[in-house]
Amino acid sequence: MRTDLIGSSRPTTSPPSPTRAPMSTHPSPPPGQTIFVERNAKPGCLRRLLWPVLLVSLLLNASYLSRETSGLTPDRLEEQYVLGSINPAADKVAVVRIEGLIALDTVDHAVSQIRQARTDEKVKAVVLRVDSPGGTVTGSDQIWREVELLKRAGKPVVVSMGGLAASGGYYVSAPADLIIAEPTTTTGSIGVIIELPNASDLLDKVGVDFRAVTAGEWKNMGSPFEPFTDRELARFQEMVDDTYDRFLRVVAQGRKLTMARAREVADGKIYTAAEALSVGLVDRLGYQEDAIAEAIRLADLESPRVVRYNRPFSLGSLFSFSAASASRPALIDEKTIMELRTPRMLMILR
């Protein structure tokens, strides 16, 4: 007979539920045998390192495929729209930038830009945007040659001078059909210089004896560790004079001056834009937009597309730069020392 009542405060005791064994996905072992189950091991250090490597590999492959499908080659620059017609098939005016010290990388990039403009049949005129204090004689002459070839290809060249277009910066500008300087441009400094540092007195004071064993009378000419002789200085002067004569011919040819007149204005003097205009080193004052307008006029174009060139971005070049930066020594290395002790002829603002 049931004796508990509904609502009673007496606790109700339920019969214990049978305990269920946890379900297992593994079969029960046969009698007399034991099954050992091996759990999955956690990823180790090696496995964790493989994921970044795989990711980098995928990115590099994607970059390579992108470059291949876009038609870019390592020597081909990317074309960036600046202004004018948005029609990709329109005739073009290319803006080529020559910026900074004229040496190594600057020369390579400038030459690549000019060559691409010269070989592109759609480019009908070029604006050289020059903002440079000059640099090495050879680098300046290499760019000058490319500008000459550009003109021989029948493409008008207009120079737009930025804040500074001096010495080698003027050398590369001289062949242009038209030179436009901004009102605040500094130009001129037409000349050649060899800088010859000498530490022989310092070595004597600190008690260092430096000797060089050479074959050839002039082999050690210009060594910074030995006093210069009058004959050595005279020989350096001959070299500078010869290069300066070439600079004068470049100016005379480009600006249509006599050699005598070129020598008068190209004496190393630094000119303001107004002064350069008065002596015939530039044609007018204006800005880059004016240079573009003149290039359009000279090429007799209706509605051209104005473009400029950039180096194509690639992950490979980024990683190469990072590796080079990481491996570069903090102190001056042997190569730098050799460059410092080698006399260099320069066309640079001083």
Residue-averaged pLDDT of the chain: 83
Q: The domain 63-195+267-314+338-348: what is its CATH number?
A: 3.90.226.10
The per-residue pLDDT for range 35-92, each reduced to its tens digit, is 555 555 555 666 666 777 677 667 666 555 544 444 444 468 999 999 999 999 999 9
Q: Above 80 in pLDDT, residue 225?
A: yes
Q: Is 52 strand, coil or helix?
A: helix
Q: Which residues are catalytic?
A: 167, 219
The per-residue pLDDT for range 102-125, each reduced to its tens digit, is 998 899 999 999 999 999 999 999
φ, ψ for residue 297, nearest 5 deg? -65, -45
Domain assignments of the chain as residue spans, ordered by start: 63-195+267-314+338-348
**DSSP character string of 64-115:** HHHHHHHT--TTPPEEEEEEE---TTS-EEEEEEEES-BSTHHHHHHHHHHH
- Cα–Cα distance between 250 and 240 in angstroms, integer? 15
- Cα–Cα distance between 72 and 120 in angstroms, integer? 14
pLDDT score recorded for residue 341: 58
Q: Give the model's confidence band at 157: pLDDT under 50 very low, under 70 low, under 90 confident, else very high.
A: very high
Which H helix or E strand runs over 167?
A: none
The CA angle 240-242-244, to the nearest 5 degrees, is 65
Find residue 129's DSSP bridge partners.
97, 160
Closest CA to 348 of 179, 139, 145, 148: 139
pLDDT score recorded for residue 324: 45
Residue 136 DSSP one-character state: E
